[in-house]
Chain A
Amino acid sequence: MEVYPLTLLLKQLFNFIKLLNSEKGATSIAAGMVCGMILGFTPAFSLQTLLVLIILFFFRIQIGAAFTMAFFFKLMAYALDPAFGAVGAAVLEADGLRPLFTTLYNVPIVPLTRFNNSIVMGSGVVSLLLALPMFFVFRMLVAAYRLQVMARFEKTVFWKAVKATGFYKWYVKYEELHG
């Protein structure tokens, strides 16, 4: 079967919804959401963006969750840019770190990360600081969603009616056969 990137992306998005509504994969979803947060906060394409994308591709992290969160965090980043700029400027202007930055700026490859831009640095610092706590927060949120929202939704008359339709049964069969 021929696989196109857009198909993969859509498949990952559907998988995200499916996984979110299943009882497994909470860690994979949370990791994807954290990657999405890093992608969304980073203002432009740079070396670390590429690194995150490679991690997403080659490790079993939920890509749909990553891209969905990247979209939401990108929207948030527009409002947070001044704050990222201020954090980045404070880090880049710190006298103690200047020798380090001077070295990094003049060694190969590292300047391609655009670390010397205040927003890239600010968003990078904030993303790294938030990554681990947010991983656990996202995992808790996924669990809470499954318990509070999904379980209640499955008990509704509407969902029961949907499950009784021929289309739903066909979909379940299709899922069993094609995954």
Chain B
Amino acid sequence: MDKTPKKKGPIRVEAIVPFVIIVALLTAYFMLFFDRQLRAGLEWAGTEANGAEVNVGSLRTSFIGGWLRIGDIQVTNPAEPAKNRVRIGEMRFALLWDALLRAKFVVTQAGIDGIEVGTPRKSPGRVLPPPSAEEGKPSVIAKFKEQASRAVLAEAGQLLEGLDPSAKLKDLGKLKSAERVEQLKGELQKKEGEWNSTLTSLPGDKDLAALQAKISAVQAGGNPAEVAKKVAELGKLVKEAEAKVDAVKKGSENLVKDVSSFGGSISQIDELAKLDRQELEKQLQLPSIDAKSLANQLFGNTVLDRVGEAQRYMTMARKYLPMRSAEKPDKAVAEKPARKKGRTYEFGRQNSYPLFWLQTASISSKGEYSAFAGDIRGTLKDVTSSPAQIGRPAVLTLQGDFPKLSIQGVSAVIEADHTKDIPIERIKASVASFPVLEKKISESEGLKFAIAKAEGAARIEALISGDRFRLAMNNVFNKTDYLIAAKSKALESLLKGVTRDLPKVTLSAVVEGTWSDFGLSVQSNLATALQEGLSKQLQAKLVEARRKIDELVQGNIAKGKAELMQRYNDQRSRLTAQVDEKRKKAEAVKAQALARVDQVKGQASSVQRKATDKLKKKLPF
């Protein structure tokens, strides 16, 4: 008998089993693997943000409960990978279901407990390579650091030990001044030719003699008509003589000017010699012993490290807490305009949830169970993906102590106000007391100078507004013990002498400007004391070293310069004399022409007077 297939309805009843299996598999994935994958994702993102390995010990989520718990977060210190920058016992986040149903993540309450600093790691954390500088150019901070990294005290030590520039600078290389002397010698040779041809082009003996002959040829006498003709002819000759005089005057003036200008070029050799001397001073590493330079070179790196950190955190804050100008709040907001991903519009309205909003996180930690833990309390408020929408800045406040680490009076208020068009970040942080161990001041082959032990206090205030920033730092190191070891015994003894009366070191710094162009001002009583100490012993040695370098430079160029000067002076004297002679001769010819005019005119008036007298006698009255 044929089996008639049963007619099936529009509902696929047999799909229930596979559907249940799929749901079960999904549930199993979220129960078994989701937390692990989220933890790995957080570790990766944290490592990228921190620049060194971040580990998350445990992570648990509950979709039904709407909560997330992250335990044992270890943040490696990039400068000291064997230690953690901070270790957090647990972070708890309670998510708002109402927001989750709107595909938003709103954390109403979060808790951060068990904060420890400087804890040792089981194994050193991985440190990411530093981000490459923009367009391959070193950053402004890197440039400043290079300037501040001179081992100025070790250089002073060399000088104190007696520096012989001639022994150190065996090969002076190509000095700019010496090169210029050689160059000017060649130029002088060329100029001599030019000057001679200019001199030849001026009216000379032959021209003047011809003119003289023409003047002499005009004889006095003759009837009035002839006299008038002669006067006119002489007038022309006078003009010709004047033209010659002018040509000689003008030509000689230009020549003298050119000669003098070349003399000016020769005098520039001294300027170049000065530059050569400064360059050689740099090669010899002659130190600057003014307090400002010393403070910059001793503490510049410490200050610039803080500037670098401030810039890094600002960049991070601006990336994750987008500012108002990036959001265009008056229109539906478009994000990530990448192809294939499309544009995501936000239709937020007043009091609606932003995509992410951590409303309040309470920070509390008790330091009684661990040597690295602190008694910390504080809050983190209003961290959001849309600050303009909630209209409040993100604020972190922290206060507390790490008694077992002898760190007292930690206080910090960090604010990121990205609610307006121009983002503003403010940092106000201070530590009333903290132990200082082996803080390097200057370290080089010839010197190790450090604060071996001290009791520090620090205060930092920063205001970043748009591209401009101002960072002020005030550090004090009390009860300071120094570590001084120098190759130069003179330097070691000097440093010991200076620091003996300096149990308290102060450091004040202000950095102000834009990230691409800022000014650094560092002041320290240690720098001032070192300046005073070094000045006494170093000033005379510095002057002596500079004199020796000057002698080296002058010795290098003296012969060539003297030859050049001699040849130039000879040329100048010769040319001046010849020009003067030509001018005098031209003037004489002009005077002769004028005299002849007077003579012809005088004779003519005498003849006229005699003729008048004769006529008067013939008259009857």
Of the residues B21, B103, B332, B342, contact of A43 by C-beta under 8 Å: B342
Nearest CB in chain A: distance from B328 CB, A: 12
Residue in A43, A89, A120, A179 whose Cβ sees the most chain B Cβ within 10 Å: A89
CB within 8 Å of A: which of B91-128?
A: 98, 101-104
Q: Map CB proximity to B onto A18-54 as digits: 1 under 8 Å, 0 otherwise.
A: 0000000000000000000000000100000000000
Q: Map CB proximity to B onto A83-100 as digits: 1 under 8 Å, 0 otherwise.
A: 011001100110000100
A60 pairs with B102, CB closer than 8 A: no
B12 pairs with A43, CB closer than 8 A: no
Interface check A101, CB cutoff 8 A: yes
Stretch at the interface among A66-74, A111-119, A129-137, A162-170: A111-119
| Chain A interface, DSSP helix/strand/loop, else mixed | helix
Nearest CB in chain A: distance from B13 CB, A: 9
Q: Which residues of A contact B5 (CB under 8 A)?
A: 179
Nearest CB in chain A: distance from B353 CB, A: 8
Given A5-B22, A78-B340, CB of A57 within 8 Å of CB of B346 = no
B332 pairs with A93, CB closer than 8 A: yes
What class of interface size applies to chain B in its complex with A? Answer: 20 to 34
Residue in B5, B339, B342 whose Cβ sees the most chain A Cβ within 10 Å: B342
What class of interface size applies to chain A in its complex with B? Answer: 35 or more
Interface check B200, CB cutoff 8 A: no
Interface check B19, CB cutoff 8 A: yes
Nearest CB in chain A: distance from B276 CB, A: 65
Nearest CB in chain A: distance from B160 CB, A: 72
Q: Which residues of A contact B342 (CB under 8 A)?
A: 43, 81, 84-85, 88, 117-120, 122
Q: A-contacting residues of B (Cβ < 8 Å)?
A: 5, 8-12, 15, 17-19, 21-22, 98, 101-104, 332, 339-349, 352-353
Of the residues A57, A114, A118, contact of B18 by C-beta under 8 Å: A57
Interface check A106, CB cutoff 8 A: yes
Nearest CB in chain A: distance from B389 CB, A: 12
Report the bound CA distance from A88 to B343 in whole Å: 9
Q: Which residues of A contact B345 (CB under 8 A)?
A: 92-93, 101, 116-118
Q: Which residues of B contact A179 (CB under 8 A)?
A: 5
Interface check A58, CB cutoff 8 A: yes
Interface check A102, CB cutoff 8 A: yes
B102 pairs with A116, CB closer than 8 A: no
Of the residues A109, A110, A117, contact of B344 by C-beta under 8 Å: A117
Q: Which residues of B contact A59 (CB under 8 A)?
A: 10-12
A108 pairs with B348, CB closer than 8 A: no
B349 pairs with A112, CB closer than 8 A: no
Report the bound CA distance from A106 to B353 in whole Å: 8
Of the residues B19, B102, B340, contact of A107 by C-beta under 8 Å: B102
Q: Lowest 7 CB-CB distances: which A-B pairs, in order?
A: A119-B342, A108-B101, A105-B347, A111-B103, A118-B342, A102-B347, A118-B343
Q: Which residues of A contact B21 (CB under 8 A)?
A: 3-5
B340 pairs with A81, CB closer than 8 A: yes
Report the bound CA distance from A3 to B8 in whole Å: 19
Closest to A115 in B: B345
Report the bound CA distance from A85 to B574 in whole Å: 88
Closest to A28 in B: B10
Q: Which residues of B contact A114 (CB under 8 A)?
A: 103, 344
Of the residues B19, B98, B103, contact of A112 by C-beta under 8 Å: B103
Interface check A151, CB cutoff 8 A: no
Q: Which residues of B contact A93 (CB under 8 A)?
A: 332, 345
Of the residues A57, A105, A108, contact of B15 by C-beta under 8 Å: A57
Closest to A109 in B: B101
B17 pairs with A3, CB closer than 8 A: yes
Closest to B3 in A: A176
Q: Which residues of B contact A110 (CB under 8 A)?
A: 102
Given A5-B22, A106-B102, A116-B347, CB of A98 within 8 Å of CB of B12 = no
Nearest CB in chain A: distance from B592 CB, A: 98
Q: Which residues of B contact A43 (CB under 8 A)?
A: 340-342
Closest to B102 in A: A111
Given A57-B15, A58-B11, A58-B15, CB of A105 within 8 Å of CB of B348 = yes
Interface check A17, CB cutoff 8 A: no
Of the residues B11, B346, B349, B352, contact of A60 by C-beta under 8 Å: B11
A89 pairs with B11, CB closer than 8 A: no
Interface check A8, CB cutoff 8 A: yes
Q: List 19 A-B contacts (CB under 8 A).
A: A4-B18, A8-B18, A58-B15, A81-B340, A85-B342, A92-B332, A93-B332, A105-B346, A105-B352, A106-B347, A106-B352, A109-B102, A111-B103, A116-B347, A117-B343, A118-B345, A119-B342, A120-B342, A179-B5
Closest to B98 in A: A108
B102 pairs with A98, CB closer than 8 A: no
